[in-house]
């Protein structure tokens, strides 16, 4: 076989395995085999740049090169759809179509995916361009970013037209969205309000390797071109499924208006069980010939309409605004409301985000306000019913000027929306928040200790910072509220055990601003011990992967503060790990010795590769397929149905990633 033939074969195999995994959810080979093939291809491509191909599977990893997007004109404009919230208007749409066509017709019912739309162009079975909607006439060329989305095929198989466009929605699944926000919270970066913003923000990233890591997905729902297989929209999309595209399994061809209503009502509740966000139903006349007959208005097709689900919204009274102080001193204003039912839960409080939002709403105490849940994490106030105000206007809500907990004047950093209490070392919720963070599961993971216990110890004056925990004795805490000898002993044992928590987690536990788990890991790996970090200047820090100006400044500022420096010294004296241990340098344990473990599905905290190397570092073996010898399965989202069935048949234990990580963190 020539080198070129070898490269072509590897590419074809990798495309097929990618499709099996990301589109069909049915991998045929192990991750290791996949990675080995990918590495072999990367090496060959590096040695033979003359065989470079823009649709090679190696393009999926993205690159760090910053890139400004080029604007390109759409060949066919990207129109929007007429919108309605009412079933009566759906009936009107149906009657209009019936009247104009004056013949039988079918309506394809689809979910309206709530992400960001994309238009993909394929020539000779290869993805050549991906463009955002933009203003409908022209959009941004985001091809390099889109190539990193694994469910979008780079090359097609089967009987595809020579040249066509296919449009769809790029989405961030709920699970990835929540994991991303958790990570951002730890790093104290602003959270994405919903998966739609997260998906469109990610797609516009200037750095395609960021996109590659964000776990986006895509559903395609609209084919355009001169040589489509047939006259049916539904049928054409089923064909596109065979070319390699991810097409929704929930499309339905309705013959009557009643069937359309049934579909709408079913999905209004059932959509909550989908892995991605949806905000309505799209109805399309199925025949392309009939679509052409119906034509377009200036803005949208006459052959389609979107029925939007009612945003889950309620009207209730604002009684008070209270202010919470976080562990970093950030102040969050919270609306206290008359309890109101909203999408299945009772809401009493809603976030008001920051001073600008309050000002923008012109809020007054006693106002009737709209609360929405939608795709957001925390309910929020989206408006005020000003007509309901009447004669008695309550007091205007003004953002506080002093910390509600310690009275310090608040400050606002340049370019930030939030107000902060600067009294880091003496403001009670900041102190307690820092200790709570210190003991939390992903940090020191101290058994038996939780926020209530920390609060109790703080109230009675036993602890004023994390280092005081290490001076506690059973007798000090036994006899405190609801604290028997057994729980007291358990806590002290947990505190003692935390002395062997590895350096990178100790570093994370310190709660240095912007130093989340990932940054702590990078710091620990790069500098190895606390002395080196303490002595590092901005330049040394910035040379480390993932650390920029903002993080570097925060680290320097942390150690410049004598209180922090003294705390770290006390923790060192207590015997915590402040440098990487020999085993840790190797990262090796024998916790999984003798176990055969299958990895399946998609994960939130680590990639499959990372799990694989975790298994190996802890003495286990990662195997590709399930057999009676399998010890357990590490399962993420969307574990393949055949694997699940096999596991159940053989009675093999299935662990989710949290359970697995917990297992590794236990000593």
Residues with active-site annotation: 112
Residue of 19, 105, 222, 632 interacting with ligand IVH (CB under 6 A):
222
Q: What are phi and psi of 564, to 5 degrees?
A: -65, -45
Considering beta carbons, is residue 139 or 329 the nearer one to ligand IVH? 139
Smallest distance, Å, CB 376 to ligand IVH?
Answer: 19
Q: Between 566 and 605, how does the x/- string for binding to ligand IVH read (CB under 6 A)?
A: ----------------------------------------
Query: Hey, what are 311's tokens?
Result: 């945003």
Which residue's CB comes closest to ligand IVH?
Answer: 117
At closest approach, how far in Å is the CB of 306 from ligand IVH? 6
CB of 150 vs ligand IVH, minimal distance in Å = 20
Nearest CA-CA partner of 145 in 203, 70, 197: 203
HSE (CB half, 13 Å, CA atoms) of 167?
A: 22
Q: Which of residues 463-522 bind ligand IVH (CB under 6 A)?
A: none
Query: What is the rounded CA–CA span in Å between residue 207 and residue 211?
Result: 7
* Between 280 and 333, CB nearer to ligand IVH: 280
Q: Directed axis angle between helix 195-203 and helix 174-186, to 10°?
A: 80
Interatomic CA distance for residues 10 and 57, integer angstroms: 9
Q: Which two tokens stand for residue 99?
A: 């009247």
Residue number with CB closer to ligand IVH (170 or 410): 170
Beta 632-635 vs 596-600: how paired, if at all? Answer: parallel
| Distance of closest approach, residue 262 Cβ to ligand IVH, in angstroms | 18
Closest alpha carbon to 327 in 407, 427, 403? 427
Residue from 34, 122, 221, 611 that binds ligand IVH (CB under 6 A)?
Answer: 221
For residues 252 and 261, the answer to whether their CB atoms sit within 8 Å is no
Q: Which two tokens stand for residue 357?
A: 């939002």
SS3 57: helix
Give residues with Cβ within 8 angstroms of 34, minimum separation 6: 14, 17, 21, 27
Q: Which residues pair with 330 in a beta bridge?
A: 420
Site for ligand IVH in 143-182 (CB under 6 A): 169
Which residues ranging from 303 to 332 are in contact with ligand IVH (CB under 6 A)? 304, 306
Q: Which is nearer to ligand IVH, 177 or 578 (CB)?
A: 177
Q: Are 321 and 334 in contact (CB under 8 A)?
A: yes
Which is closer to ligand IVH, CB of 67 or CB of 252? 252
**Least Å from the CB of residue 605 to ligand IVH:** 29
Shortest spacing between CB 160 and ligand IVH, in angstroms: 20
Q: Nearest approach, Cβ of 233 to ligand IVH (angstroms)?
A: 10
In the complex with ligand IVH, the residue whose CB is nearer, 214 or 284, is 284
HEC string for 357-416: HHHHHCCECCCEEEEECCCCCCCEEEEECHHHHCCCCCCECCCCCECCCCCCECECCCCC
Q: How far is CA 162 from the centre of its chain?
A: 36
Q: Residues binding ligand IVH: what is the number (CB under 6 A)?
A: 15
Question: Which C-beta is closer to ligand IVH: that of 133 or that of 437?
Answer: 133
Smaller CB distance to ligand IVH: residue 161 or 168?
Answer: 168
Residues 106-125 that bind ligand IVH (CB under 6 A): 110, 112-113, 117
Other Cβ atoms within 10 Å of 132 Cβ, number = 25
How many angstroms separate the first and last alpha carbons of the chain? 51
- Asked if residues 578 and 572 have their Cβ atoms less than 8 Å apart, the reply is yes
Smallest distance from ligand IVH to CB 111, Å: 6
Chain-centroid distance of CA 384 in Å reads: 31
Segment interacting with ligand IVH (CB under 6 A) among 105-113, 421-429, 551-559, 616-624? 105-113
Q: What is the DSSP string of 560-579?
A: HSHHHHHHHHHHHHHT---B
Q: Which stretch binds ligand IVH (CB under 6 A): 75-83, 375-383, 529-537, 642-650?
A: 75-83
Determine the interface stretch with ligand IVH among 78-86, 347-355, 439-447, 488-496 (rule: CB under 6 A). Answer: 78-86
From the list 81, 127, 223, 506, which residue makes contact with ligand IVH (rule: CB under 6 A)? Answer: 81
Beta bridge partners of 141: 131
For the record, the structure tokens of 112 come out as 């309206």
Nearest to 173, CA basis, from 264, 234, 84, 246: 246
Phi (first) and psi of residue 349, to 5 degrees:
-135, 150
Nearer to ligand IVH, 282 or 427 (CB): 282
- Interface pick for ligand IVH out of 44, 79, 472, 526 (rule CB under 6 A): 79
Could you give the C-alpha distances from 429 to 72, 87, 495, 635, in angstroms and in order?
Answer: 52, 50, 22, 38
The residue among 191 and 274 lying less far from ligand IVH, judged by its C-beta, is: 274
Determine, following the binding rule CB under 6 A, whether residue 225 of this chain makes contact with ligand IVH: no
The minimum distance between CB 8 and ligand IVH, in angstroms, equals: 35
Instruction: Please state the closest distance from residue 62 (CB atom) to ligand IVH, in A.
Output: 24
Residues 264-303 contacting ligand IVH, CB under 6 A? 282, 301
User: Would you tell me which residues interact with ligand IVH (CB under 6 A)?
Assistant: 79-81, 110, 112-113, 117, 133, 169, 221-222, 282, 301, 304, 306
């Amino acid at each position: 076989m020539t080198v070129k033939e070898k490269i072509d074969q590897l590419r074809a195999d990798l495309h097929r395995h990618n499709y099996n995994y990301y589109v069909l959810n049915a991998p045929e080979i192990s991750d290791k085999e996949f990675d080995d093939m990918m590495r072999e291809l990367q090496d060959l491509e590096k040695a033979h740049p003359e065989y470079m191909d823009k649709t090679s599977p190696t393009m999926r990893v993205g690159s760090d090169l910053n890139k400004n997007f080029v604007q390109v004109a759409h060949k066919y404009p990207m129109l929007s759809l007429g919108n309605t919230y009412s079933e009566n208007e759906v009936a009107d749409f149906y009657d209009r179509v019936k009247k104009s066509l004056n013949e039988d017709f079918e309506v394809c019912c689809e979910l309206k995916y709530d992400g960001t739309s994309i238009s993909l162009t394929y020539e000779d079975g290869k993805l050549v361009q991906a463009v955002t909607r933009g203003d409908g006439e022209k959009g941004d060329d985001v091809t390099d970013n889109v190539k990193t989305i694994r469910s979008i095929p780079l090359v097609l198989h089967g009987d595809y037209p020579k040249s066509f466009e296919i449009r769809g929605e790029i989405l961030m699944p709920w699970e990835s969205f929540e994991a991303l926000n958790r990570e951002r919270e730890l790093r104290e970066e602003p959270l994405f309000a919903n998966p739609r913003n997260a998906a469109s923000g990610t797609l516009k990233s200037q750095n395609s390797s960021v996109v590659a890591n964000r776990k986006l997905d895509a559903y395609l729902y609209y084919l355009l071109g001169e040589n489509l297989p047939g006259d049916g929209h539904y049928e054409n999309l089923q064909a596109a499924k065979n070319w390699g595209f991810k097409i929704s399994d929930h499309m339905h061809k309705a013959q009557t208006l009643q069937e359309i209503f049934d579909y709408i009502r079913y999905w209004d509740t059932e959509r909550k069980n989908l892995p991605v966000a949806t905000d309505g139903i799209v109805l399309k006349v199925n025949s392309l010939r009939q679509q052409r007959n119906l034509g377009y208005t200036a803005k949208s097709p006459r052959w389609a309409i979107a029925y939007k689900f009612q945003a889950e919204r309620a009207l209730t009274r604002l009684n008070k605004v209270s202010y919470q102080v976080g562990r970093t001193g950030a102040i969050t204003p919270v609306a206290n409301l008359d309890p109101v039912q909203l999408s299945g839960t009772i809401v009493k409080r809603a976030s008001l985000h920051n001073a600008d939002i309050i000002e923008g709403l012109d809020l007054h105490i006693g106002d009737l306000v709209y609360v929405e849940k939608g795709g957001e994490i925390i309910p929020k106030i989206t408006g005020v019913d000003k007509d309901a105000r009447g004669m008695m206007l309550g007091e205007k809500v003004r953002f506080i000027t002093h910390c509600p907990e310690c009275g310090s004047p608040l400050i606002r950093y340049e370019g930030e929306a939030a107000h902060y209490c600067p009294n880091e070392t003496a403001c009670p919720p900041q102190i307690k928040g820092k200790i709570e963070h210190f003991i939390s599961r992903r940090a020191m993971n101290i058994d038996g200790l939780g926020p209530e216990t920390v609060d109790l110890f703080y109230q009675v004056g036993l602890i004023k910072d994390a280092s005081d925990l290490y001076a506690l004795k059973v007798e000090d805490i036994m006899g405190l509220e609801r604290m028997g000898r057994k729980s007291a002993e358990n806590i002290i044992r947990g505190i003692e055990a935390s002395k062997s928590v590895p350096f990178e987690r100790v570093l994370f536990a310190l709660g240095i601003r912007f130093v989340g788990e990932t940054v702590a890991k990078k710091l620990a790996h790069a500098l190895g011990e606390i002395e080196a970090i303490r002595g590092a200047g901005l330049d040394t820090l910035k040379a480390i992967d993932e650390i920029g100006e903002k993080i570097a400044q925060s680290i320097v500022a942390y150690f410049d503060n004598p209180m922090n420096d003294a705390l770290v010294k006390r923790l060192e004296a207590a015997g915590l790990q402040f440098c990487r241990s020999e085993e840790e340098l190797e990262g090796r344990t024998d916790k999984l010795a003798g176990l055969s473990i299958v990895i399946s599905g998609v994960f939130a905290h680590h990639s499959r590769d990372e799990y694989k190397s975790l298994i190996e570092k802890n003495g286990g073996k990662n195997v590709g397929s399930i057999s009676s010898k399998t010890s357990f399965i590490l399962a993420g989202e969307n574990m393949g149905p055949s694997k699940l069935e096999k596991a159940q048949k053989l009675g093999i234990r299935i662990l989710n990633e949290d359970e697995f990580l917990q297992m590794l963190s236990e000593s």
